[in-house]
Structure 1
Amino acid sequence: MLFTSDNWGGVHPEVMEAMTSADGGFAPAYGADTASQGVRALFSEVFERDVAVAFVPTGSAANGVALSMLTAPYGGVICHEHAHVLIDECGAPEFYTGGAKVIPAGGAFGKMTVETIEAAMLPYDPPMAHRVSPSVLSLTQATEWGTVYSPDEISTLNDATRRYGMGLHMDGARFAGAVRASGASPAELTWKAGVDILSFGATKNGCMLAEAVVLFDPSREEEMVARCKRAGLGMSKQRFLAAQWQAYFADDLWLSLAETSARQCRAVANIFTDHPECEVLVEPQINELFVRMPGSVAEKLRGAGAEFYDWVQPGDQYGGEARRFVTSWETTDEQVQALSDALG
């Protein structure tokens, strides 16, 4: 009964097979191989335009490189107060950008609004020499609460922040889930809504070390390559990263895996919906579920072998009783039933 994180899951057999097939013999290094070149074309196809892509091994690296493309060291990054770039990356955004300040903004269940962004901007508008100059808005899609921004919501936030001269970054660690849940195309969720650069994650959805920085202005590709190399992210055997993306996109495997994860999450939500001591805090849109439950229920579940995280965030409104349950493409019906039996 493992519901801690989709990061704990394994690698999908088709992805592993693609990596194995890429092994054997010699191939040009540092992205000059045919697999890497071909996958770049696949990204352009997925996003319906020419894009530049950098393959990196972790989501924190992807976010750091992406943000460094949009802000100077004396700049600032506006993000949600629960965002991964603020809470869970050990200062990596500040490191990669050379010191840019990460500035929190509020919003219910992980989603910023025009009003909360403008409130966060109050100390910085008009600009003054004594303070950083926010130059990028970072959205998490899907959010840390498993909610999803629609294309219209993204476009509205983009319009509101462009007047400050800010660029738009999207942290898409669970981007496949957002595409599936929204019914929008990858293009509609990104550059068509104003996104400048995307951190595209696949590791949580059946891959191994598969994260990509997708730059929607390919004229800046040379700068992105240099930033990756300077950060120690020049991957010599890049063919093995590229091979994962080949399998991931083939026959829409990425969306199929996201649907499986989300379906199991809905099944878990049904377990808690009618329980008198539990409250589903927000209807799950992807593969993350947030439930308020007393410590006695949490202890009962853990005593029966269930693993999940307590979810205590800045400004916690739930008295430390919010819990997070995450499903994956490997979550089985038997695991869901076992959780139901443990809850009683």
Structure 2
Amino acid sequence: MSSPAPNQHFASDNYAGICPEALKYIVEANGSGHEVAYGDDSWTQRVCDRLRDLFQTDCEVFFVFNGTAANSLALASLCQSYHSVICHELAHVETDECGGPEFFSNGSKLLVAQGGPENGKLTPDAIESVVMRRADIHYPKPKVVTLTQSTEVGTVYTVEEVRAIAAIAKRRHLRVHMDGARFANAVASLDVHPSEITWRAGVDVLCFGGTKNGLPVGEAVVFFDHTLAEDFAYRVKQAGQLASKMRFISAPWLGLLDNDVWLRNARHANAMARLLHERLRVIPGVRIMFEPQANAVFAELPLHVIEQLRARRWRFYTFIGAGGCRLMCAWDTRPETVEQIAADIAALCAA
């Protein structure tokens, strides 16, 4: 009976540890002596400036502990309690954030749209349909469109798709929010400059995920429109997301930003997903559900295969996305781990 490579699994890229470059800056920040608290330290200012350089624009940057807080607080800053947020039916804000966006916005309603069933993405037509559903005062007024990049089924919005959605949003006076928990994987997949699929395409605020890309903890909320960031620091504080020793949240970002390590990590995770896809797609009894474009592979496996994989101590989810098994690759996933799980699946399917 085979077993996974030591401590390597496919349940989530959150399972991975801290990449060495990020860990290096935690140690450096710790050895730099006393620093001003609550984000006024020199490390946080350096990272904010580096992110402005990365996006080639004078954006406002804030740091929070996790993606749920990033999305919830960002969306709350874009709408009032009587407004609504249009999202895909599989969006993380709808399925996996325990009502956080509604809670922090004091009741803004999520309006679920059915996007393309084959790719998990919102379309301009789907957004238009939701906007036009009702316009009376008894219905929460649409105010924001939120996109998950990459999506919950491992696909990626192209530059053209983001621009088309931003165009319909502008016509309907909607703001555009991007849940970028795996933004790095999307940029790596598209091979475009990060500005091209954000503010240049019409995105107002991005939640830039660091945890899944090799950080210990921490997401960056990036406002490309300064007016939308007004009083956002107070939201962060009130939500319990203002780190007193902020430098230990921000400094590891330097490890990702130096020499584009964030892209290297994402490219590796994406490459491991492509390798896994290549191995699985030729196995009789396995059906690939979505063409993998980032670092996730969704596959339908026979029930007995799923049970036996878990008996062999492989960890993966079967309730995320549109069904089947989600096999997620991380910045540190090793090729031999991919080959091992693929071999186990092939053997079990053959049996």
TM-score (norm. length: structure 1) = 0.94
User: 1:230-267 CA distances to partner (integer Å, 9 max, x unpaired)?
Assistant: 22222211111111111110000000000111111111
Residue aligned with 1:50, SS: coil
Deviation at 1:275, TM superposition (A): 1.1
Deviation at 1:312, TM superposition (A): 5.8
Q: Which residue of 148, 155, 172 corresponds with 1:164?
A: 172
Question: Is the 2:22–2:255 Cα contact (8 Å) retained in structure 1?
Answer: yes
Distance 2:132 2:201 in 1: 25
User: 1:269-300 CA distances to partner (integer Å, 9 max, x unpaired)?
Assistant: 12211111011112211110000122122123
Q: Which residue of 117, 121, 129 corresponds with 1:119?
A: 129
Paired residues for 1:324-339 under 5 Å: 324-339=326-341
Deviation at 1:163, TM superposition (A): 2.1
Distance 2:320 2:130 in 1: 22
Distance 2:343 2:21 in 1: 33
Unaligned 5+ runs, structure 1 = none
Deviation at 1:218, TM superposition (A): 2.5
Distance 1:334 1:149 in 2: 30
Distance 2:334 2:242 in 1: 37
Report the counterpart of residue 18 of structure 2 in structure 1.
11
Report the counterpart of residue 40 of structure 1 in structure 2.
48
Q: 1:135 to 1:47 in 2, by over 3 A?
A: same
68-77 or 107-116: which moved more?
107-116
Paired residues for 1:110-259 under 5 Å: 110-124=120-134, 127-259=135-267
Q: Which residue of 262, 270, 274 corresponds with 2:282?
A: 274
Count of residue pairs the alignment pairs up: 336
Question: Is the 1:67–1:169 Cα contact (8 Å) retained in structure 2?
Answer: yes
Residue aligned with 1:111, SS: coil
TM-score (norm. length: structure 2) = 0.93
- Share of identical aligned residues, percent? 40
Q: Counterpart of 1:226 in structure 2: which amino acid?
A: Y
38-47 or 291-300: which moved more?
291-300
User: 1:13-60 CA distances to partner (integer Å, 9 max, x unpaired)?
Assistant: 111111111014210111111111111111110101101001000000
Q: Confirm or deny that 1:323 pairs with 2:333.
A: no
User: 1:145-183 CA distances to partner (integer Å, 9 max, x unpaired)?
Assistant: 111111111110111122221100000000000000011
User: 1:82-102 CA distances to partner (integer Å, 9 max, x unpaired)?
Assistant: 000001000000011111001
132-141 or 178-187: which moved more?
178-187
Residue aligned with 1:341, SS: helix
Residue aligned with 1:22, SS: helix
Question: Is the 1:174–1:201 Cα contact (8 Å) retained in structure 2?
Answer: yes
Question: Is the 2:90–2:120 Cα contact (8 Å) retained in structure 1?
Answer: yes
Question: Is the 2:77–2:229 Cα contact (8 Å) retained in structure 1?
Answer: no
Distance 1:165 1:38 in 2: 34
Question: Is the 1:210–1:244 Cα contact (8 Å) retained in structure 2?
Answer: no
Report the counterpart of residue 30 of structure 2 in structure 1.
23
Q: Confirm or deny that 1:54 pairs with 2:97.
A: no
Question: Is the 1:141–1:173 Cα contact (8 Å) retained in structure 2?
Answer: yes
Distance 1:36 1:312 in 2: 34
Question: Is the 1:247–1:253 Cα contact (8 Å) retained in structure 2?
Answer: yes
Question: Is the 1:105–1:117 Cα contact (8 Å) retained in structure 2?
Answer: yes
Question: Is the 1:65–1:228 Cα contact (8 Å) retained in structure 2?
Answer: yes
Distance 2:273 2:67 in 1: 23
